[in-house]
Amino acid sequence: MLGGMQDWPLRVMRILDHAEREHGGREIVSLWADHSQTRTTYAGLARDARRLAAALTRLGLKRGDRVATLAMNHSRHMAAWYGAIGAGGVIHTINPRLFDEQLAYIANHAEDRVLFYDAAFAPIVERLKPQWRTIEHFVCFDAPAGEDGYEALIAGEADGFAWVEGDEREPCMLCYTSGTTGNPKGVLYEHRSTLLHALTEISPDVFNLSARSVALPIVPMFHAAAWGLPFATPLVGAKLVFSADYTPDLMCRLFAEEKVTHSAGVPTVWLAMIAHVEATGAELGALRHVTIGGSAAPRAMIEWFHARGIDVGHAWGMTEMSPIGTVGAPPSGWEEMSPADRLAYVCRQGRVPFGVELRIVDEDGQVLPRDGVASGRLQARGPWIVKQYFQDEGGPAAAADGWFDTGDVAILHPDGVMQITDRSKDVIKSGGEWISSIDLENAAVGCAGVAEAAAVGVYHPKWDERPLLLVVRKDGAEVTAEQILAHLAGHVAKWWLPDEILFVDSLPHTATGKLLKTALREQYRDYRLAGIAA
Ligand code: ADP
């Protein structure tokens, strides 16, 4: 027997239809690379997306064809997402900070047919054109007026384009992992997975978005779909503020002028913002809720926001998970918790929303208890978690029963809170025990004068590996190794203390702003601690 309710395929374009109909006047503000500012609305965005879908169809785009973007966050980029998806295509965001080799590989592997790009990335386009084998059309988002580009492409199109309909399991978006090991792998999001993920994101314990929210996603649209925010905000009619420029004083001005209430980004960008606010006394305006994720949020950063009455959602996820896995949102009993307990709670990666299941397993695949003690490989499953990579790269991504191995090492607490201890490749293995490089780094960043820190395991004849801590000092700071060790001693077990601390001018980062541990491990592979023979 079947039920008696209507069939309503969970397709992404319904999000934009809803925003246009119910929140058509709600604004989308964009600050461009040249610092000019434009304003449109969800109705304006829907109109542009329809014209763009018509233009793509005129150019010969077929169902399932990939449309790439190489761009920062702005309203035209968002219109291109919805236009390409509405035309039946698959939007493929490319991270412009990748190496040329990866940029060439990704676009060829995806078989992109059209590329939309920011003028700022024109040099990349010129350089890689000869290597890109499948791109037929290049469209500049911000071409000078009167020249070929986005505006010219959609100018002559009619407004009546009807979105391409189809099965909710058809793909709508392609995101590549950042490829810190081997070639990047493509994750092909579906209409259904994207819509379910967006519905979850607006909920109070995830991004806590509503019609009253003003959201400024600092996380770039090429980093795991800006964590899904361009799909979540139109669902509730939140105002959107985009910036193509991350200079902290510009961002602070946008926060204040546009009355931003919600923002999201990786720790690296927040570090820069906090340093700017500390140095200049700039105001963060109406900011109430920040989501920090992509790498572990340092304790000192969470404390800084809490001290200003700003909620922190500490999010864990990955490209393979659309990307939301867990968020450290306030649990029951929050009001009674002391500031220190609240801080300790948010330092962990939080709880799953409905739709994500987690477990940890040992080296043999045996499921470990959720006892707050056992630490093991973290696995996840659910309707917005990868099953297989695009073009089946590397065989199935998840086991037949759905469990996907995240490559992270974690503890699950009895109250459901997940705590990342490390990436399986980054843990420092000392005398058969594991030292969390993340915990060491976060403790070090809490020491006055330390701007950034990275912990890597280096060879030790007795212990296999011992931690080496690389530290970038804050501008003008003179903090010493002894001071850092004394600080760390108050935060981590004695046997975790780094055997050596080296001061460096800078640390390498991935294209999404995370510490590039693979490069550091390579660089310090043959490093010998003092007193240890080569
Ligand atoms: P990539 O895996 O290619 O670097 P992702 O952005 O998908 O790109 O990164 C996912 C990984 O980032 C996770 O597997 C985890 O190791 C790390 N990560 C993300 N958020 C957090 C967090 N809040 N705390 C600790 N690690 C995190």
Do 291 and 217 meet the contact criterion of CB atoms below 8 Å apart?
A: no
Output the CA 300–ligand 1 centroid distance in Å: 19
Residue 425 among the catalytic residues: no
Ligand 1 neighbour 513 (Cβ under 6 A): no
Domain identity same for 405 and 436: no
Ligand 1 neighbour 95 (Cβ under 6 A): no
Tracing tokens 């992509």 back to the chain, one arrives at 294
Of 42, 39, 38, 37, whose CA–CA distance to 17 is shortest? Answer: 42
CA-to-CA distance for 183 and 212, rounded, in angstroms? Answer: 42
- Pocket probe mutation, ligand 1, options 93, 269, 420, max atoms within 8 Å of Cβ: 420
Beta strand segments in 329-368, E: 357-361
**CATH (domain of 511):** 3.30.300.30
Q: Is the pTM of this model over 0.85?
A: yes
Domain identity same for 63 and 178: yes
Residue 529 lies in a domain: no
Output the CA 58–ligand 1 centroid distance in Å: 39
Output the CA 293–ligand 1 centroid distance in Å: 8
Do 40 and 27 meet the contact criterion of CB atoms below 8 Å apart?
A: yes
CB atoms within 10 A of CB 429: 13
Residue 429 among the catalytic residues: yes
Please identify, among 347, 373, 404, the residue that sits at the C-terminal boundary of a domain.
347
How many domains does the chain contain in total? 3
Domain identity same for 157 and 251: yes
At residue 342's C-alpha, the angle toward residues 336 and 343, to 5°, is: 160
Residue 320 among the catalytic residues: yes
Residue 528 lies in a domain: no
Residue 277 lies in a domain: yes
Catalytic residue among 258, 320, 441, 465: 320
Domain identity same for 377 and 238: no
Residue 416 lies in a domain: yes
CA-to-CA distance for 97 and 47, rounded, in angstroms? Answer: 31
Domain identity same for 20 and 162: yes
CB atoms within 10 A of CB 264: 24
CA-to-CA distance for 124 and 470, rounded, in angstroms? Answer: 32
- What pLDDT was estimated at residue 180? 59
Catalytic residue among 151, 393, 434, 474: 434
**CATH (domain of 108):** 3.40.50.12780
Ligand 1 neighbour 512 (Cβ under 6 A): yes
What are the DSSP calls for 235-302, one per residue?
HHT-EEEEES---HHHHHHHHHHTT--EEEE-HHHHHHHHHHHHHH----TT--EEEEESSPPPHHHH
The protein residue with its alpha carbon nearest to ligand 1, atom 25, reads: 296
Do 418 and 352 meet the contact criterion of CB atoms below 8 Å apart?
A: yes
Q: Which numbered atom of ligand 1 lies nearest the CA of 323?
A: 7
Ligand 1 neighbour 349 (Cβ under 6 A): yes
Domain identity same for 144 and 268: yes
- What pLDDT was estimated at residue 94? 97
Written as one letter, the residue type at 77 is H
Residue 261 among the catalytic residues: no
Domain identity same for 53 and 131: yes
Residue 509 lies in a domain: yes
Please identify, among 384, 400, 423, the residue that sits at the C-terminal boundary of a domain.
423
Written as one letter, the residue type at 521 is R
Of 237, 208, 230, 226, whose CA–CA distance to 264 is shortest? Answer: 226
The torsion of the CA quartet 329, 330, 332, 336, rounded to 10 degrees, works out to: 170
State the DSSP H helix or E strand holding residue 75, giving kind and residue range, or none if neither.
Answer: helix 75-86
Domain identity same for 453 and 306: no
234 by DSSP, 3-state: which? Answer: helix
In angstroms, what CA-CA distances link 516 with 10, 178, 511?
37, 11, 9
Please identify, among 325, 347, 369, the residue that sits at the C-terminal boundary of a domain.
347
- What pLDDT was estimated at residue 351? 97
Beta strand segments in 321-425, E: 324-328, 357-361, 375-381, 404-412, 418-423
Residues in the chain: 534
Output the CA 318–ligand 1 centroid distance in Å: 5
Output the CA 266–ligand 1 centroid distance in Å: 10
Output the CA 518–ligand 1 centroid distance in Å: 14
52 by DSSP, 3-state: which? Answer: helix
**CATH (domain of 406):** 2.30.38.10
Domain identity same for 336 and 362: no
Domain identity same for 379 and 497: no
Domain around 366: 357-423
Ligand 1 neighbour 517 (Cβ under 6 A): no
Residue 105 lies in a domain: yes
CA-to-CA distance for 103 and 107, rounded, in angstroms? Answer: 6
Output the CA 323–ligand 1 centroid distance in Å: 9
Do 285 and 241 meet the contact criterion of CB atoms below 8 Å apart?
A: no
| CB burial of residue 432 (10 Å; 0-12, 13-18, 19+) | exposed
Ligand 1 neighbour 255 (Cβ under 6 A): no
Catalytic residue among 41, 177, 319, 421: 177
Using 50 as the pLDDT threshold, list the residues of the chain that sit under it.
none
Domain identity same for 410 and 496: no
Domain identity same for 117 and 248: yes
CA-to-CA distance for 148 and 182, rounded, in angstroms? Answer: 37
155 by DSSP, 3-state: which? Answer: helix
Residue 531 lies in a domain: no
What one-character DSSP code corresponds to residue 225?
A: G
- What pLDDT was estimated at residue 181? 58
Residue 1 lies in a domain: no
CA-to-CA distance for 534 and 526, rounded, in angstroms? Answer: 8
Catalytic residue among 165, 429, 495, 522: 429
CA-to-CA distance for 499 and 502, rounded, in angstroms? Answer: 10
